[in-house]
Amino acid sequence: MSAKGVKSDAQLIEPLSQDNVASSNKIVTCAMCYQSSDHQQSECPYCGTVLHVRKKNSLQNTVALLVTSIVLYVPANIYPIMYTTSIGDEIASTIVGGVITLWEQQFYPIALIIFVASVMVPVAKILALSWLVYSVQSNRIISRKNNQVMFRITEFIGRWSMVDVFAVTILVALIERGNLMKVMPGVALIAFAAMVVTTMLAAFSFESRLIWDNPDKNKGKNTNV
Amino acid sequence: MSSPTKLACHECDQVVIIPALSDGQKAICPRCGFVFTRYFKKARSRLLAFSSSSLVFLLLSFVFPFLIFTTQGNEKVISLVQGLQSMGSGTYLSVVLFMLATTVLVPVMTLTGINYTLISAKLDKPLPFTRHILKLVFLLQPWNMAEIFLLGILVSMIKIASLGDVQFGWSFYSFVLYIISMAATRVFLDKYQVWQWFRHHDKRAYSYER
Ligand SMILES: [Zn+2]
Ligand SMILES: [Zn+2]
């Protein structure tokens, strides 16, 4: 029941066991201030943050937010994100359309950045979180560590999808209305921004400790790899 | 040096003891690889240096022209806040407000909060609301999108490159410096270490020994 020491800048080599997880040690550590207290405490005695041994309804909340983001993904890609008017001609452009235009104008790096941030990242995020929910619920674990890494990346990169939303918002502000040129925002701008926020919230509501919870079916000595 | 602390990993629930760390050393969860903390000597004064310079650069970037856009002889000078305000109507207001919040409001609040808590840590008795402010600083972390805003500016520049001439104003350079010093601030803004500064002189600190 003793706690393991942490090797700094290196991983501990000794095999760890299920005996050393907090739930069997009956302690809970505040995610905000790192104060450890008894697992029956509902509030951190030091900073007042609500304590959860496991976040409540984590999977349900994650799934609900994921479904919302999938629903929002459709209008975000079908409808125009902006309208450009120059000398009477109005051109509507979708997110993917904008990427294609940039590519045709030979701005390859920027086209790639937008494609990755606006198209690939949201899809990858939704797939990754769906896999994590499925993996945890059905106890189908290929590698806990890979799942954890996948979750960390998902948490980190989500914000970057906002690039195109910000770029369009700045464009609208930059180009004065009533001139020969006019840039107007489209419906997809809101749909896309809302989708990024919901995927971020979906990641925040996912309880990563669930990745490590269920004991392996094949009772190996090392349960952590 | 920090004294050993027993805690459960936030990400995998492994119980660990954080040992005393030397300068630049990280404490990593042996089970899942979560980085608990990274210890730096003089972290407090370094954090103060970077967070106050970040705040200065950020505030300076509100003052001067941010971008100068010239099209068909018309010159338009845009400042940061004005640029963010100019499309404030209709349903798109929500997107503008979101951008305003994540690129101006959150950074200003975060940096003011960090500087407040640093002053508080220097005093014998912490200033009022120190813990609440510190909590807010950490809760707002993922919603600081200033660096994404910067990338957004570069993307929008390229999109209108064919329509006119875009020049960067002083505020733009100040904003870039803000992004750089904010990145340095994040290195020293270590949850574990920062809370530790207050525990040392806080008698109400609850210690879990069992
Ligand atoms: Zn706490
Ligand atoms: Zn861990």
A85-138: pLDDT as tens digits: 877 788 899 999 999 988 998 889 999 999 999 999 999 999 999 999 999 988
Q: What's the fold here for domain A55-212?
A: Butyryl-CoA Dehydrogenase, subunit A; domain 3 (1.20.140)
Q: Is residue B46 one of the residues assigned to a domain?
A: no
Residues of A in contact with B19 (CB under 8 A): 5-6, 8
If asked whether residues B140 and B160 sit together in one domain, one would say yes
Would B7 be classed as within a structural domain?
A: yes
Same domain, B19 and B119: no
- ipTM, 2 dp: 0.87
Per-residue DSSP letters for chain A? -PPEE--BTS---SPP-GGGBHHHHTEEE-TTT--EEETT-SB-TTT-PBP-SS-TTHHHHHHHHHHHHHHHHHHHHHS-SEEEEETTEEEEE-HHHHHHHHHHTT-HHHHHHHIIIIIIHHHHHHHHHHHHHHHHHHT--S-HHHHHHHHHHHHHHGGGGGHHHHHHHHHHHHS-TTSSEEEEE-HHHHHHHHHHHHHHHHHHHS-GGGGGTSPPSS--S----
Per-residue pLDDT tens for B106-153?
A: 999 999 999 999 998 888 778 889 899 999 999 999 999 999 999 999
Domain check: are B85 and B5 in the same one? no
Domain with B6, as residue range(s), is 1-39
Q: How many domains does chain B have?
A: 2
Q: B59 and B159: one domain?
A: yes
pTM of the model: 0.87
Nearest-ligand number for the alpha carbon of A29: 1
Q: Which chain A residue lies closest to B21 (C-alpha atoms)?
A: A8
Our CA-based measurement puts residue A133 at a distance from the nearest CA of chain B, in whole angstroms, of: 15
- Which candidate in B5, B75, B85, B95 is best for mutational testing of the A interface (most A CBs within 10 A)? B95
B26 with B94, same domain: the answer is no
Same-domain check for residues B108 and B32: no
Q: CA of A215 to nearest chain B CA: how many angstroms apart?
A: 13
Does B32 lie in the same domain as B77? no
Q: Tell me if chain A has a CB within 8 Å of the CB of B154.
A: yes
Between the CA of B33 and the centroid of ligand 2 the distance, in Å, is 6
B109 and B25, same domain (yes or no): no
